[in-house]
Amino acid sequence: MIMKGKKGLVIGVANNKSIAYGIAKACREQGAEIALTYLSGPLEKRVRPIAKELGDGKVYQLDVDKPEELEALKKSIEEDFGKIDFIVHSVAFAPRRALAGGYIDTLKEDFTLAMNISVYSLVAVTQTLADVLNDGASILTLSYLGGPKYIPHYNVMGVAKAALESSVRYLAVDLGQRNIRVNAISAGPIKTLAASGIGDFRGILKWNEANSPMKKNVTIHQVGNSAMYLLSDLSSGVTGETHYVDAGYNIMGMAAVEKDENGKTVMSWDNR
């Protein structure tokens, strides 16, 4: 198995529909030992059954905005594993009001919060856990097309994802001498708990399906398998990259259109 003997930490599994779950499951199926985190006490009851499913892995409490919890996590990993081989960072947040209206309406406190949780947390996790990573380890975070391009209703999260992808490149250089790789996956739209806060998300799903080369949306299992590759030694020559898993939607330069019975141009999913 590709990940046999590897030990890793997955931060951000919310439930069994989350992308982080798909990644953890794919790594476990290839032999990796998985540890998970939960944000707070009420969420522990969601995460522990998933940890049990994934081989009775360790579960730790972690709020990425609290340095003391990051330090406690580092200590726990040292005690339980010694060192680990990969980290999955699946953490992002913006207040719902920041995803409504226009980006121009973004409040300073919402901007700061979104950047802190969605971007700086990757830096903080990497800073704190760098010493418990084996040389040759892999770090992976999750991005979205709303970073490099405009996506309706994504607003401040798009700016945060752009900063996250830039952080991936800079961290890749900082850690390159230890042969530690840092990459991002940019997944297509998927029905997850996090996505529920984005306005007209059903429309975004339809649009992606209609306009991607493969005429479909991706699943957490497809994203999980691609992530497993980036976390494994199969991708030992890959770092600083943003890898798209979106059925090819990101390559498109023009929307797919059709003609209705009156000869009017319509978007291809309007008549479905």
Instruction: Enumerate the active-site residues.
Output: 144, 154
Higher pLDDT: 188 or 262? It is 188
- 193 closest CA partner among 57, 59, 92: 92
Tell me the pLDDT tens digit for each residue of 176-204. 999 999 999 999 998 765 655 565 667 78
The mean pLDDT of the chain is 92
Mean pLDDT of 41-57: 92
Mean pLDDT of 75-87: 98
- 85 closest CA partner among 176, 5, 1: 5
Higher pLDDT: 62 or 256? It is 62
Q: How far apart are CA 88 and CA 67, in angstroms?
A: 18
Residue-range domains of the chain with CATH = 7-267 (3.40.50.720)
- 217 closest CA partner among 195, 186, 249: 249
**What's residue 204's pLDDT?**
81
Tell me the pLDDT tens digit for each residue of 118-158. 999 999 999 999 999 999 999 999 999 999 999 988 999 99
Contact 70, 62 (CB under 8 A): yes
Rg of the chain on CA atoms, in Å:
19
Q: Check: pTM over 0.85? Answer yes or no.
A: yes
Host H or E run for residue 243: strand 242-245
Q: Is the pLDDT of residue 169 over 90?
A: yes
**What's residue 272's pLDDT?**
45
**What's residue 203's pLDDT?**
78
Tell me the pLDDT tens digit for each residue of 237-254. 999 999 999 999 999 998
